[in-house]
Chain A
Amino acid sequence: MPPSMLDASDAALVVAIGRWRQEALAEAYRRHAGAVFGLARRVLNDTTRAEEIVQEVFLRLWNEPDRFDPDRGSLRSFLLAQTHGRAVDLLRSDTARRNREDREGRAAAEAGYDLEHEVWDLAVADRVRAALDVLPDDERRAIALAYFGGHTYREVATMLEAPEGTVKSRIRTGLRRMRAALDDVGVGS
C-alpha cells in the first residue's frame, strides 16, 4: 500500500478510485468495510447476505465513485446509507423473514429496546451513548425499530401503538437531538 493512500482523506481516496486506483478502493475498504458489514449483519441477521452487501457497496463505489458527493457528508455515512437501504430492501422483499422480524421487533419493543447495547464503536461509544442518554425512551425506541429493525415509521407506529405522525416526529426529533448532543461533545461532524 503506497503511504499516500494511508494518509489520504476519504475524499482523496474517492478521487483516486475515479482514476482506477485499486489500492485506493482497498484503503477505503480497510477503513469502512467493518462498519458496512456490521450494519448489514445487524439489520439482516444473516452473515452471508451481509457479505454480499459489502461486495455490492464497494463494487458500486468502484464503478460509480461520482455518486459520492463530499459536500453531502462523509464517505462512511454515504456507504452506510447505501448499506442500510440495500439491507432494508432485502428485508422487505422477504415476506417470511419479515414476519419473523415483526414478531421479534414487537417483542423487543415490548421488552424495552436497549439501543445503547447496539452501539459499541470503541472510539466514540461513550459519546454516542451520552447522546443517546438525552433521548426520551419513546424516541430511542422508534429510531431503533426503524433503523435496526428495518421497519417503516408506519409499522413502528403499529408496533408501538402510537399515531403515525407522532412516530415520524419522534424519529426526526430524536435524530436532531442526538446530533446536537454529539456536536456538543465534538463527534458527528
Chain B
Amino acid sequence: MKRYLLQKTGGFVLTAILVSILTFFVIQILPGDPALLMLGTEATPEIYARVRMEMNLDKPVLQRYFGWFADFLKGQWGNSWRYSMPVRDLVARAFPLSILLAFLSVGAALLVATPAGMFMAARPKTYSARLISVLTQAGLGLPQFWVGLLLIQVFAVNMRLLPAGGNSSYASFLLPTLTLALPRAAILSRFMRVGMADALRQDYIRTARAKGVSSRAIFFKHALRNGSLAVVTVAGLQFAQLFAGTIVVEQVFGLPGVGQLLLTGVFQRDLPLVQAVVMVIVFLILLFDLAFDLCLGLLDPRIRYE
C-alpha cells in the first residue's frame, strides 16, 4: 500500500509538470497573438508593442516558462490578461460551481440509470425494457445544446416555472443538471444492463441458485455488487470530465463555470489564466483518480494495491 501511494504520487508530479509544459507551449504554437487578439483591427505597432510588453511577451519563451513555474509554486498565479483580475479569484469562483454541477448531474444520472439498467437486465424481453432502451438511444443521440435550449423554451419561456439561466437560486440548477444528466444516464443505464446481464451469467450465480438462495437476494446482493463495477468506473470518469467544465451547457445557461473560463482563456490566448485552470483541473483529476482507485477496492476486495 505504501509503495502504491509513493508510485502514485511520483506519477502525479510528473504528469502535472508534463501538462504544464504542454499547455504552455501549445498556446505559444497556436496562431494568433494574445496582444493582437485584444487589439483587433485597431492595432498599431506602438499599441501592440506596449501591450506585448505588459504581457511579458517580449521575453524569451523558456525564460517565461520557468518564471511562470517558479511563481506558480509560490502561489503567485498572476493576473488574467482578459479579465484584469487575479487568476486565483477567477479560479476560486469557477471551480466550486463546476464541481457542484458535476455532483448534481452524475448523481441524478446514477439515480435514474441504476434502476433502469437493472430493470432492463432483469426483464429484458418486456415492452417496458424495450421502451427504456429506445429512450436511452434518444438520450445518447440528442445534442446537449439543443436539449438545453428546448428545456429553457418549455420550462422558462412557456411555463415560466424555472429561471432561464444564471445561478442566483437553487432552482436555476435544475435545468442544467437535467441537460447534463440525460446523456450520462443513458450511458450509465446501458453499462448497468450489460454489467448485470453479465454477472447473472456467472458460475457463482448458478451456485448460489443451486444452494437455494432466493432470486431476490441473488439479484440485489450477488449480481448487483459485481455488475455495478463498470457503472461506478464510468460514472467516475463522467464526474472527472465534468470538473473540467462543460462549455456548451455553461454557455447555454450562462453559468460562470470552468468551461467558460477556459474557453475565453484559450480564445484570447490568456496564458496565465489557461495555465492555472489547466493545472487545477489536472490536480483535481489526479486526486479524484486516487480516491476513486481506493474506493473501487472497497467495492471489489479482489483489487490489490501494489
Q: Do chains A and B interact in one complex?
A: no
Q: Using a CB–CB distance below 8 Å, which chain A residues touch chain B?
A: none
Q: Using a CB–CB distance below 8 Å, which chain B residues touch chain A?
A: none
